[in-house]
Structure 1
Amino acid sequence: MSAPPVQATLDDFELGEEVAWGSLATIIDAIYKKNGKHYALKVLNKAQLVKKKVIRSALVEKDALIALGTRPQRHPGLVRLHHCFQDSLHLYFALDLATNGDMKVLVQKLGSISLDCARYYTAQLVDAVIFLHESGVAHRDIKPENILLNSEMRIMLADFGCSYIGKDMESEFLAKWPCRLFNRLEDIAPRTNTFVGTAAYISPELLSRSEANPTSPDIWAVGCTLFFFLYGTSPFTAATDYLTMKRVRALDYSLPPECDKGAADLMKELLVLDPMERIGVPPKSSSEKLRQHSFFVGTETSMPENDASPTTWSYINWQSLWKDSPPPIEVGPYRIRPHDASTTTEELWSGFESLQVNSD
């Protein structure tokens, strides 16, 4: 009988620089002394978790990561949990380190990314999301800052604090779906309608807390993320979260007339108010139908003559998606305006010393 694994502690890590931080967590580049590998050490302050009443979020993230990590097959597009431990003040997660930041920062630096880049990264996101759902996990907070980039510029989906975990979500929902109009919401989809996520990427069914397949909010977020890749903003962005959510409920967005036909068609099929009519959401659609959309695989006239891997990522070969080299990062249809990029700190502060204050 093998001995139980030794629990890691903070003393097992050599702490380096902070690489990210937020209201609840700080991410530190840390070296695990026993193997010399770098990890992203996510540190959560217990007092803050209690104060903001989000203790469950940390527990859900741990449960989701453990559920995914114990699957017979692991997915390369998901951050992996290596250690979790605690002390009197903090909770710690030792995760894969994303050495190239996240998609939000990457896209905002350029204004947008090219159509082929958007196709490649959206395909990787779709593949990771499908694996999640097949594993009984719905992410429910997919957004560009939660899509990390590893050393090879491939994605790693992170931050599972808003997740929903079920043994077989789709089967459980579909078994009750035919009589969904006649049953109470909590009998149809328990805890799948909890308000979670970020305003610009949250689905209308979560906003209205209506019954839905628990996988449907992730599919909606894929559509919002593709729009962000191409145009550097969410399709529903407004001055405040309230106005943003109002636009989501009204499906108030527009696509530029020059938008690629395939991309436009996919976003229109993803950004649908009724989740049951959304591409990729059972029972009316499926993950395979989403994978085979023309934006990813082309049309009959544009399909490649053989199964060779794409060189420009003008189409997706799903079999080699995680093996072939990523496309070079190129600027897309929306570019940062020159004056936006050239504004200096000195210009912003230029009038400060001229302010006059009456000291009497």
Structure 2
Amino acid sequence: VTKRNPKDYIFGKVIGEGSYSTVYLAKDIHTNREHAIKVCEKQQIIREKKREQVRREKDALNILSNSGSSLFVKLYCTFQDAERLYFVMSYAKNGDLLPYINKVGSFDAACTRFYSGEILRALEHLHDLKIMHRDLKPENILLDHNMHIKVADFGCSKILEQPDAVEKSILNESNPRQRSNSFVGTAQYVSPELLTEKTISPSSDLWALGCIIYQMIAGLPPFRSRSEYMLFKKILNLDYVYPDGFNADAKDLVQKLLVLDPNERLGTKDEQRYTSIRSHPFYKDLDFDTLHVTTPPPIYPYLPGNSEGQELRSQYRVPDHLEPGLDDKQLTRLLGLDGQSSSTTTPAPAPRPRKRSGILHMNDEEKQHQLHQQKCNSKWHSLVEGNLIVKQGLVDKRKGLFARRRMLMLTMGPHLYYADPVTMTLKGEIPWSPQLRVEPKNFRIFFVHTPNRTYYLEDPEGFALEWCKAIEEMRVNTYGVSPTTCA
């Protein structure tokens, strides 16, 4: 086989970056096949003392690529020149798992069951080959063209030499500085034993699986803190909570995986495969052995239910035969209030007088007058970058099972700002584009769909429809009639 070199590939866009490497989408000029090529800078590797990490990744990928499993990125070849090392790998065209969790807020039970099931199968194969990943997280779970997983990034991996070894780490007590702040993996998913350096075992990957299942269900990882010190303290104290509405079977599974003693985690006593995890009630009716030929469940916007309301789903696509816009007739149809059953039992609030889009049709002089009044009288003026506020109100901004009270402000521009009403600080902005769509779910809850994310908003006063009308009116006024496909 002829040794490859960079001229055998057409390098395209950057699809990933690390401290010493860049990943490019590239095309093989001989086969026309697309690859992900990881390009490592030799000087950076030496400077950051990452030689061992690069070697580990190459060794693990070689073993996995020869094992025949489709659950991992495949290493096709490696080569080098004077300045760089090149890893030619399979290209997962749908990116990694994290943006999908962020886009929809959280996964429903079916998606969580499927994707965590595929991750479990990958861990079974990995651990059977005596390889520990040690940096399992949503960013390292890639998705191929069929939306099946491919586990990636083996720079932190460890290949166990002895079949049944649970390797004791060698602690250099005479040089404590060498140990400070050194752990393998990513802070939010790292297991307690990797922090205390007591043992190294495949059980660390099962801890990470528990963290990922929690994040799929709740929308955020179980252990969160602004400082790494406090984050590690939470992990070592098992300090995390289950928000209201967390799936009961998933909670039981996560509790059995997030166990401080690595030898007591569910699965660690299994002799063949992780049968105790496979047989957990959360995976009832899931056929693990046919997952690779099963069509993955679609990842749609989804707001999980809690003690205050039922779950809400969306497969929102505007059909071609329906009229564009969001007038009263369309809202009635969307909410199922035209004689059909409504998706909620929430009673309609009493209607309140509504100003008809006056601000949108003001002349410049009138707008300047309103802006002057706002500057003098509104405490929110300094947060909206000098834009005229059209509508404002308190909402609960929900992400998965978590919610935060925010002041939502629709302004000219257009802009949709949200701020912390207690600290009076701007927290973010919902990005506008012609593709933005609002979707009322009931009188309190509405979804704002954007190309990269769905925002879940709840008006505690029950005037979600007014928000939908105001936002849609602004969209039509700004962009006119836009494409009928919702993000």
Fold match (TM-score > 0.5) = yes
Change (3 A) 1:119 1:332: farther
Cα deviations by residue, 1:27-73 (Å, 9 ceiling, x for unpaired): 111011121100001111111111111111111100000111223xx
- Equivalent-residue separation in structure 2 for 1:154 and 1:47 (angstroms): 36
Bigger Cα Rg: 2
Which structure features the higher share of strand residues?
A: 2
What does residue 350 of structure 1 align with?
none
Distance 1:35 1:26, change over 3 A: same
- For residues 101 and 209 of structure 2, the distance between their equivalents in structure 1, rounded to whole angstroms, comes to 15
Q: How does 1:1-360 map to 2 (within 5 A)?
A: 5-71=1-67, 74-169=68-163, 171-173=164-166, 186=170, 195-212=183-200, 214-282=201-269, 287-297=274-284, 315-333=285-303, 335-336=398-399, 342-344=429-431
By how many angstroms is 1:86 displaced?
1.0
More helix per residue: 1 or 2?
A: 1
* Residue pair 2:74, 2:89 contacting (<8 A) in 1 also: yes
2:22–2:39 Cα contact (<8 Å) kept:
yes
Aligned partner of residue 223 in structure 1, secondary structure = helix
Displacement of 1:343 after TM fit? 3.4
Which gives a bigger RCO, structure 1 or 2 (Cα 8 Å, sep 6+)?
1
- Partner Cα distance (1:41, 1:153) in 2: 20
- 2:15 counterpart SS class: strand
- Partner Cα separation in structure 1 for residue 192 and residue 272 of structure 2: 19
Superposition misfits of 4+ residues, deviation over 6 angstroms: 283-286
1:236 shift after superposition: 0.4
Are the structure 2 counterparts of residues 51 and 186 from structure 1 closer, same or farther at C-alpha, using a change threshold of 3 Å? closer
Question: Match for 1:247: what amino acid?
Answer: K
- Structure 2 vs 1, CA of residues 207 and 321 (structure 1 numbering), >3 Å: closer, same or farther? same
Distance 2:34 2:271 in 1: 44
Relative to 1, partners in 2 of residues 1:332 and 1:11: Cα closer, same or farther, differing over 3 Å? same
Q: Distance in 2 between matches of 1:204 and 1:329?
A: 32
Question: Which SS does the other structure have where 1:18 is aligned?
Answer: strand
Q: Distance in 2 between matches of 1:282 and 1:10?
A: 47
TM-score normalised by the chain length of structure 2: 0.60
Q: What's the C-alpha RMSD, in Å, of the aligned pairs?
A: 2.3
Q: Distance in 1 between matches of 2:267 and 2:20?
A: 33
User: Does structure 1 retain, via aligned residues, the 8 Å contact 2:106–2:215?
Assistant: yes
Question: What is the rounded CA distance, in whole Å, between the counterparts of 1:64 and 1:276 in structure 2?
Answer: 24
Q: TM-score, normalised by structure 1?
A: 0.80
| Deviation of 1:172 (Å) | 2.9
Q: 1:227 to 1:276 in 2, by over 3 A?
A: same
Shift of 1:23: 2.1
Amino acid aligned to 2:207: W
Residue 167 of structure 1 deviates from its aligned partner by: 4.1
CA separation in 2, counterparts of 1:242 and 1:264?
A: 26
| Cα pair 1:141 1:197 within 8 Å, conserved | yes
Residues 278 and 285 in structure 1, CA contact (< 8 A), matched pair in contact too = no
CA gap of 1:24–1:132, structure 2 versus 1, over 3 A, is same
- Corresponding residue for residue 422 of structure 2: none
Residues 185/329 of structure 1: CA separation in 2 closer, same or farther (3 Å cut): closer
**Alpha-carbon distance between aligned partners in 1 of 2:10 and 2:235, rounded to the nearest angstrom:** 45
How far is 1:111 from its partner? 1.5
Do 1:276 and 1:283's aligned partners in 2 also have CA atoms closer than 8 Å? no
The Cα offsets for residues 299-331 of structure 1, whole Å up to 9 and x where unpaired, read as xxxxxxxxxxxxxxxx41112111010001023
Cα separation, 2, equivalents of 1:85 and 1:290:
40
Unmatched runs of 5 consecutive residues or more in structure 1 = 177-183, 188-193, 298-314, 346-360
Output the amino acid matched with 1:24: Y
Decide whether the 8 Å contact of 1:114 with 1:331 is kept in 2. no
Question: Residue 46 and residue 199 in structure 1: after superposition, are their counterparts in 2 closer, same or farther (change >3 A)?
Answer: same
Aligned residue type for 1:228: Q
Query: 1:196–1:116: structure 2 CA closer, same or farther, 3 Å change rule?
Result: same
Could you tell me which residue of structure 2 aligns to residue 305 of structure 1?
A: none
Residue 326 and residue 168 in structure 1: after superposition, are their counterparts in 2 closer, same or farther (change >3 A)?
farther
